Structure formats: structure tokens, C-alpha cells
Structure 1
């Protein structure tokens, strides 16, 4: 019943409290759920507990699997058809903060957690003084932070030093071992590794990490309140959160059905989902003959791998990224004519390759490659096409 309630809740965009009220008071919901009119329903917190159990036991797809199994039995779903996959962004339910706000808020959360879990230890450790209350007593917001660049840099160093002092305190031999296992303290440790350098003879020199010293976006935390969310940029849009990939059947003679849903953090490249989507579709009896995608899901390796599995990938290839194309000078890969069936290539000046090497599997790129070759003399003697 809770699964059906969750679906209806999503369809009507209700909060947990509103959904629980609907179960108690709305006759259409009682009819849908097969409940007696006198049924008093349940407390709204049951819904969040239900979702948590689904995630903890990796059972998020159970309802969709059973629905698709039933639809397949009715003839509405079949293998060998056409499936379309696309992704959209999902915003994490957190504030959009800059690096300085993020670090100050992360330290504040760790202090709050320690104050609740071990108030006596925190007082006895004598880490914080009155200035800590001024810096971390309230949620970190830009309007409370220093405005000038020099002042903000100094504040960032101070926050970093305070964070290292707190981490040292919880790792002292006389500190309870369980303190360092608190989730907020673990987040603080991860954030400080990512955001700060600590140098000097005694480790007192604290400074920001910059440029290449920062971890890649797929690893970098963006909020202490959601450690799974990541920052991503796509088509000029920047967001913190996730991507959700929907796969939908698109055969003209059958109903259009959502046959797969996959969620990743925002920094995961779309192309990494193709193999997983194909695996899930085959398991559900919906392996497509044609898979329609956009350019984010395509590459030579993906197309050839899918073809070997009997799936045709239909979608634009990513633009060429070789040096000549980027600089708009010289000859790019797209300037050569490759005749795969006849096994020869023609260079931009019209010279034809002399021989064709046997195909070989390029393990590093995961694709088949062939090597059409000519001689240097042939290329030099070929007439250059007029500009």
C-alpha cells in the first residue's frame, strides 16, 4: 500500500503530511487503496521510513519492475522496439553557497553535532573561545562574511585553522573514539582535505587549495547537508544536485512507457549510463532494437559495443576534439575520407592510401581501429587543394 501511496503522492506533488491526510480523508484515495471509509490511515513519518528502507535495501526499482512485468504479459511491452533515453537535472534541496560559506557552514554543523553528542567533552576540550560563537553561532551567509578580498582570504584561513584544531581535538588519544565517527565530523574531515593545504614545519600554515590542487567535480562536496550532491555544468546551466535518466518506449503502435529510471550525481557523464541502461532493459524484457539518444550518450566505443549486442544507437556523435579542429587550422580527422568496405582512405589532397592494416582492438579506447597508410612521398607530392 505504501508504494501506491508514494506514487499518488508524487503524481499530486504532496508532502508526506498532506499524503497521510489524503489517505485519512479523501474518498478517491480510499477507493484507490481499497480501504474502508473508517480507516484512520497512518502517521506521515511512515512514508519517509518506507523510502529509507527501500534505499537501504536497494529496492527502489521493485514497483517499476512489477508494473513492467504485468504490462509485458498484457502485450504492451516487447523487446526489439525503439527506446529513447534522455536526462534532466535534479536540484539538491540545499542552499547554493560559495566556497567560504560552504567551509564555515561545514564547521558549524560539526560543532553543532559535537555539542549535542558530547557537550561535556566539548567544554572540557577548550577548543572554542568567544570568537567561535561570533563566527559559527549562526548559519553561514555571505552578508555576514567579510566583504573585501583580503579580509575574506584572512577569514578563510581562520576557518581552516579552526577546523584543523577541531579535527586534532577529536583525534587526540584521550578523546572518545566514537566522536570522529560522527557523520558531521567525517564530512568536516573530507571537506578540509578537499579545500585546504596545511604546510610549514609544524603544520601551522593553512591556505586555500586553488586550481589544479582542487579535487575534480565528481568528488568535491558542495554542501554539508547533502554529501551525495555534486556540481555540474551542461549547456550553460550550472547546478548542484543530480541527474535523472529516463528511458521511454516510442513504438507507434504501442503505448509509450517509462521502462527505466536511473539517478546519478550531477557530475557523472551521460555516456557512462548506456551500458547500465541496456542491462536493465534486457533484464526487464525490453531490450531495444534501436536506442535513440542525444550526443552525450554516444561514442565510437558505445556504438560498436551496442551493435555487438544487437542494439543500434541512433544519435549525434560528439564534435571532433582534435587539436586541428579546435585551432581551426591544418587537417582534422573529418577532412579524410575513410572507405571501410573497400579498405582505403583518401587524404584531403586526394592521395589514396597504399595499404590497409588489419583491424585491431584498441583496449585503452574500447573500440576497433584500422590503420590506412600511405608514404610520406605520396603525401608531399599530392597537389594541394586551393584554399
Structure 2
């Protein structure tokens, strides 16, 4: 990802008019935007981000989004949704009212690049110091507002969402494949209350204690489901379902099962420094980590899903195999599926033509 020097874009006149009409006294996002341009410049990120390649979102803009999602306790997916539907966020980001936002994966890549170059402190400490001076982020008590905490808190929210969504995906799969078995084995009414709505639609707890408690509940549900599926009386086909395999890997990656002093079983979040990492063949790699997000695009009825490079290749191929009516384009290794068009990376003009062939009919239908 190469991010060209842009800084924060100018606020479109119509966006400003509608935002101030909706928020006569302003909002947190609007207050941050009005002064943020004086705090950061894209040049601060030159060490971590190249200046060559296709332009992307500005570094200052991604810093703004990361801090806003931290203050509002939002996952990456929720932050990307806010950029589409929240008028004050559009104001803060300098977006047109009709703008469709950005893909949530860019936020994770942005944070990873900062951490890789040791720049998370340089960037966010400067921003958060200004926020404290303006009274936008609390400076007293036990609240931590240093940059490392911002990165960690946002990452934990995303892990929490992934843990809950993986349980929900298994419940949906089991309800289709073995509804009678599921009803006889699990407490379906209770699970339906907990997972009936997508976790990405929740307002996740702001309290660390409540987050830990929710993570434990997700872990307990995951463990109960996996033990039920692997029980001798369970239909063997259940163990072949991809959502089940994904849940198993996520559970091993995220949780550790131990016993307390009284011999009772305890499930808690895995800490790499304290507990080590899971076995290599069970760690979350590309397909396991990416498939839920590719599936979310399918569920949003996107007209076309385009994958470039090897990182998402296996996840997109898996999603294409299970969603024959969804159209895909893969730039990279060829895939022989009726709903997938594959192109070599060098043939950029062919990719553009293929995308236009899908986009133009949809555009004409809207008009």
C-alpha cells in the first residue's frame, strides 16, 4: 500500500451544510476535524509508507479514523460503516455525502505498518496530547490514552468481533445442515438471543471488564459447540463444515482452557507473552482470518468482488465456491469456477474492462 501525500481533504460545502444542520452544536468528530489539520501532516509517515504506487487514503485521514473508532469503541468494520452513514464522520473525513467510504481492511494494514516501523507512538501520542488539551479525551484517573493503548484497544475490539461472528457463523450453518440435532443438543433460544444479530451491528462494551466478560462468553459458547460437534453421537458431516473448522482454529488462536485451584475448568483469552502461541498448523492464516470479511461482502449483495494478490486468494476462492451467484474477479493465480474471472497481474487493462462490464449495467439500471 502506497499512500500519497494528501493530508486531510477539504470539507465539501454540501457536507458542511448538512452536518451543521444535523449537529448545530457540533460533535466530537466535527470538533476533531476542525483542528486536526494543524496537528498532523502526511510527511510524518514517510518512513513507513512509500511515495510510489497507486494513491490511497491519506495517512492523516487514517489516523483520524483510528482515533475516532477508539473514542467510540468501534471495530474496523463498524468504523468503515460510520464513514458511510454518519454525517459528522463524513464532515470529519472531508467526504461528499454520496461517498461510499473505504474497505475496513485498510485500517488494519495502516496500524500494522505503523507498528512495524515503530511509529505508533510518534503519530498517536502527538494527536492524543492535543486531544487531552482540548478535553476530547480524558487525562485523569486510570484511563490510558497513550498511543500503544489506542492500537491495542482497537485490535482487541476486532478480535472480539471475530470471536463472536465465528460462533454465529457455525450456528447458522448447523441450523441449515442439522436443525433437529442443533435443537436437541444446544440451548437454541438462548443462543438466538445472543447471536441473532450480527456482532458487527452491536455497540461493543466500552469497559475493559465487560469486554473480557463478553469474550469469555463467546469462548464458552465456542467450546460448547465444538465439543458437541465432536461428540460420538454427532453426525460426522458436521465436522467437515468450513465454519466449524474456522471456529476451531479461531478458538485455539484466541482462548486457553485451564483449571483453577478447585479443579474447575476455566476458559480465558490467550496471551502470547504468557501462554505462548498455538501450534503452527492451527494458527490463523489468510483464509481463516479473511473468510468472514469476504463473506460479509457477499451478504451485502455486492455486484462484484475483486481480489488482487495472494493474501485473499484462498478466502475469495472458498467464498466463490459456496456462492455461485456472486460474481468475482481474481487478479493472480487462475481459478476455474463459473462465477470467477481470473486475470494475470500484468493485464491491468483487461481487469478494468471486466469491472466496467459489470458496473455499467448496474449504473444504467439505477438511472
**Which gives a bigger RCO, structure 1 or 2 (Cα 8 Å, sep 6+)?**
1
- TM-score under structure 1 length normalisation: 0.34
- TM-score under structure 2 length normalisation: 0.35
Query: More strand per residue: 1 or 2?
Result: 1
